Homo-oligomer: A and B are copies of this chain.
Amino acid sequence: MSEIQTFLAAHRDRFMGELFEFLRIPSVSARSEHDSDTRRSAEWLADRLRDAGLSAEIMETPKHPVVLGEWKEAGPDAPTLLIYGHYDVQPPEPLEEWTSPPFEPEIRDGRIYARGSADDKGQLFMHVKALEAHLNIHGTLPLNVVVVAEGEEEIGSPNLVPFVEQFRDRLAADVVVISDSGMFDEGLPALLFSLRGLAYCEIHVTAARSDLHSGAYGGAVPNPGMALARMLATLHDAHGRIAIDGFYDDVLAWDEETREAIRDLPFDEEKFLAGVGAPALSGEEGFSTLERLWIRPTCEVNGLLSGYTGEGAKTVLPARAMAKVSFRLVPDQKPGRVAELLRTHLEKVAPEGVRVQVVELHGGEPWRANPSGPLFEAASTALEEAFGTKPVLMGEGGSIPIVGDFEKVLGAPVLLVGFSLPGCNMHAPDEWLTVDNFQTGIASLTRLYEELAESLSG
């Protein structure tokens, strides 16, 4: 066994116990009733960074704090690595679909089930433990390290860019590493070449002043629920394309080489469909499933609410209806412009007699990388050594809006190295991370720090 493996084996139970503590804190950033939990999560993380051997500060923002960890003892001439992650989690609902409660972590069949196990507490914590392991084994790190852990990723990171801009000197780094994504498959690690952006809106449709009796008023008073459905139905055409004027204006066509590389990946569509459990897949005509997921934009209903939704038959004509609608964006789409196009479109198609309001909840820009060069090589080497397989290049359908911002503000390239697996239920009930990837991931990260140091110093 290598030194790192010996160390991990010796501290395995303690690491897992600590991870469980972290996962037990319901740091749901979107819910104000969890604000104190979110803060507790930040404080807990800062304590663990200090235990690992870094200094740590809770940095206030207008909402949830940033945890800033630092280790600068490699000296002013050594390169600096910035590790970014987030300690906040998605809301756990619907609770009844969890096999075990979302904030009571449980290991079943080699998987750690809990909200945040994969996204992103588990992966952020792997960095904390990799830093601790390296410092314990070697008494030092091969480069300076800054850890930025925010508590607002799941609500669109409203305060992170101002934070990074304010502290740009203190956060100056040569490379940024983020572990908030996944591997291509079990045993097959991956490096990311693209992320989709996001424009997330709420649509509010109103008509009557209050809910009315659907018998006494039905047929003559506009129904916001029906009006909303009619409006949502205009968002796609019959070919699965988004039917909003100008929506595709800023969509870059990907080169044939990238599309070819995507087609060459060992993607098992039947297994994917079986994992999803739907009767069939669907989407934009003319694109494969992985293309639909990685390099094409989407328009999805994330939530619908109108009228009476409880048990039984309430004959109500609703006064209002609400839809949460979000778009995944690809280069060079801009969230603000997409929200504006949606607003214009809905004004055009709104049925008579209803009011329509579009609220932009949050947005993030899409990102693509040039997947080559010494840093990519360094990451590839570290992953190959730990997992025994060369990583593949893949896109990611989700959004990590801060990636592009780090590149812009700090001028440092970003490496996306993640350890969750397909089907890990991020943002859904029964979220999980495998115990194996937690262990092997920590080992690969200690190796990654060394490879990056070597590459940047060379």
Contact = CB atoms under 8 A, between A and B. Distances in A.
Interface of A: 29-32, 90-91, 93-94, 97, 119, 154-156, 182, 196, 198, 200, 207-223, 225-226, 228-230, 232-236, 276-284, 289, 292-293, 296-318, 321-324, 326, 328, 351-355, 361-362, 396-399, 425-430
A219 B305 contact: no
A222 B317 contact: no
Contact of A398 (B215, B282, B310): B215
A396 B208 CA distance: 20
A305 B87 CA distance: 30
Contacts of A315: 90, 198, 200, 302, 326, 398-399, 427
A207 B430 CA distance: 17
Contacts of A313: 30, 154-156, 200, 302, 324, 326, 361-362
A119 B284 CA distance: 50
A208 B277 CA distance: 5
Contacts of A396: 215-216
A429 B236 CA distance: 36
A300 B156 contact: no
Contacts of A211: 94, 97, 427-429
B430 A210 contact: yes
Contact of A91 (B222, B228, B308, B353): B308
Contacts of A323: 225, 229
Contacts of A228: 229, 304
A323 to B, nearest CB: 8
A159 to B, nearest CB: 15
Contacts of A318: 301-303
Which of A30, A297, A302 has the largest number of chain B CB atoms within 10 A? A302
A131 to B, nearest CB: 28
Contacts of A208: 276-278
B222 A233 contact: no
A90 to B, nearest CB: 6
Contacts of A235: 226
29 contacts: A29-B312, A32-B311, A91-B312, A155-B313, A196-B215, A210-B428, A212-B425, A212-B427, A215-B398, A216-B398, A218-B298, A219-B293, A219-B298, A219-B328, A220-B289, A221-B281, A221-B283, A228-B229, A230-B233, A278-B354, A279-B355, A280-B352, A281-B353, A282-B351, A301-B306, A302-B313, A303-B307, A303-B318, A316-B427
A425 B217 CA distance: 10
Contact of A223 (B93, B301, B361): B301
Contacts of A398: 213, 215-216, 315
B214 A328 contact: yes
Contacts of A293: 216-220
